[in-house]
A = this chain, B = another copy of it.
Amino acid sequence: MIKKYIENSNFEETGFYYTLSLISGKHKMIILYCLMEFEVVRFNELKRYLKKITDKTLSNNLKELEANHLIIRKEYPQIPPKVEYRLSDRGRSLMKVLDQLCVWGENNREE
């Protein structure tokens, strides 16, 4: 079933490519893992976990994750602002699969 995509040079249309596109970039996976572990997390909290990320990059990543419906953004209209992020059901189901990659990596690390 993959073969026909390869022969047509349409790899970008495979489910695999699609899945990876959702988590492309350097930080998205860490964000997702943070949300998985800590459930509900605020912007600056995430920033601390990610350590070296800039506001702009974090902001962009969160927007893309939200656009792909992997996370849910909840804004409280107050001063100072407060925004919470959490996994959506869709995000959680993706994490289950990604966790398999984690397990494989643990078991197959070299040297």
Residue positions of A touching B, CB distance < 8 A: 2-3, 6-7, 9, 11, 14-20, 29-30, 33-34, 36-37, 49-51, 68-69, 90, 93-94, 97-110
Contact = CB atoms under 8 A, between A and B. Distances in A.
Q: Can you tell how many copies of this chain the complex includes?
A: 2
A70 to B, nearest CB: 10
A9 B105 contact: no
Given A30-B11, A109-B18, A97 B90 contact: no
B33 A6 contact: yes
Nearest to A69: B110
Contacts of A102: 2, 14-16, 19
B15 A110 contact: no
